[in-house]
A and B are shown apart, each in its own frame.
Chain A
Amino acid sequence: MSYSIIKLYYGDYGEAKNGAADISTNNTPKEEWPLWEIFIRSKQGLDHKHAGSLHAADAAMAIENARDVYTRRMEGVSIWAVESKYIHASVPEEAGSLYDPANDKAYRHPTFYDLPDEVKYM
């Protein structure tokens, strides 16, 4: 048995047919918009950093959505959007062979130098 509940909110009067804020329990499958990964540059000269992901119908909408979702508190000056399916990721099962060998090679870290106090940000 399926129920359909239309919940009316303020502003919906007379608009039920138009579907304003129509919160019905019909579980009709919807086509989802593709997922996009968003990269934000917070200041000129800095790298774009991964900020999160969101759904959008195309690249233009992804940029606009990113602007609204991730930069409304002045977090950014530039946005990159990449459709998530184009991101290639390393496989977690291979983590051992990929990263562990770096563990015992302390000599790769430049920790054996004495840095002058004047040098910051090292």
Chain B
Amino acid sequence: MTTLNKINYLLHLADNALIIGHRCSEWCGHGPVLEQDIAISNIALDYIGQARNFYQYAAEIINSENDPSLGFVLPATEDSLAYLRDTPDFKNNLIVELPNGDWAVTTLRLFLFSTYQFYLYNQLVNDADTQLSAIAEKSLKEVTYHLRWSGDWVIRLGDGTEESKLKIEKAIEYLWPYTGEMFINNDDSISSDWNKKLSSIFHDATLTIPAKSWMQEGGLKGIHTEHLGYILAEMQYLQRAYPNSEW
């Protein structure tokens, strides 16, 4: 792996965590019940923590290269990577930037994505890069809980009332075309493990897995949906309007 590829890969992991963390944080104060509001805000904080670890590591490598032609603001920091890159620079999967929609979309998205993360981090734990494997190991515990929590919700909604089932079926239809992108550049084992987990949870939830279909992609290359720009506008406003401001 070239150094630039390595940086881009770390940014991909960081952007995924940051953007889905931001989406989860949008529920803060709006959760359907107090307890779930706190649960999803906790999850948001876990993700922001993961993003920080990946950004810090990426910044370390960028600074040790110290090469302006790589196209990063120097010296790089976790903040410059999160707040001073534009939409086309972000390398997150499209699925994490989609709007929260209702509770069914939010929890299903979290389930689809954290299942993927679970198997990915399980693999990264054995990575030759010890810093990457350490971050993966720390994050894996958090993701294991996210997976359990969101999987429970998929089962509850799918095997719940007529209305809840209708809502989660709509959510599946909406999110499904964005699931394929997660497996680009990854081992086949991740996608087969993901499918197995999905089958078992959907079985308990009495839900049907959609047929194979055309999949959306582009996030890895910086081609995003219109939603990412709105997220960044809100997230980056303060740093861009008042550079280097602190709490």
Residues of A within 8 A of B (CB): 9-15, 18-21, 23, 33, 54-57, 60-61, 64-65, 67-69, 72
* Interchain CA distance A67-B35 in the complex, whole Å: 10
Asked if B197 is at the interface (CB within 8 A of a chain A CB), the reply is no
- The residue from B33, B105, B152 contacting A33, defined by CB atoms under 8 A apart: B33
* Interchain CA distance A54-B39 in the complex, whole Å: 13
* Interchain CA distance A72-B42 in the complex, whole Å: 8
For the complex formed, measure the closest distance between the CB of B144 and the CB atoms of chain A, giving whole angstroms. 12
Cβ–Cβ contact A57 & B156, under 8 A = yes
- The residue from B35, B38, B99, B156 contacting A15, defined by CB atoms under 8 A apart: B99
Give every chain A residue within 8 A of B230 (Cβ-Cβ): 10-11, 13
Cβ–Cβ contact B99 & A60, under 8 A = no
Cβ–Cβ contact A20 & B234, under 8 A = no
Can you pick out 22 interface pairs between chain A and chain B where the beta carbons lie within 8 Å of each other? Answer: A10-B230, A10-B234, A11-B23, A11-B99, A13-B99, A18-B101, A19-B102, A20-B99, A20-B101, A21-B30, A21-B100, A33-B33, A55-B33, A56-B35, A57-B156, A61-B152, A64-B148, A65-B38, A68-B38, A69-B35, A69-B38, A72-B42
Looking at chain B's contact residues, the main secondary structure is helix
Cβ–Cβ contact A18 & B102, under 8 A = yes
Cβ–Cβ contact A10 & B35, under 8 A = no
* Interchain CA distance A69-B33 in the complex, whole Å: 12
The 7 A-B residue pairs whose C-beta atoms are closest, nearest first, are: A65-B35, A21-B30, A68-B39, A18-B102, A18-B101, A11-B26, A19-B102
Give every chain B residue within 8 A of A18 (Cβ-Cβ): 101-102, 105
* Interchain CA distance A28-B148 in the complex, whole Å: 31
Cβ–Cβ contact A9 & B35, under 8 A = no
Cβ–Cβ contact B152 & A15, under 8 A = no
Interface residues of B in 30-86 (CB under 8 A from A): 30, 33-36, 38-39, 42
The chain B residue with its CB closest to the CB of A54 is: B35
* Interchain CA distance A56-B145 in the complex, whole Å: 18
Cβ–Cβ contact A68 & B26, under 8 A = no
Give every chain A residue within 8 A of B202 (Cβ-Cβ): none
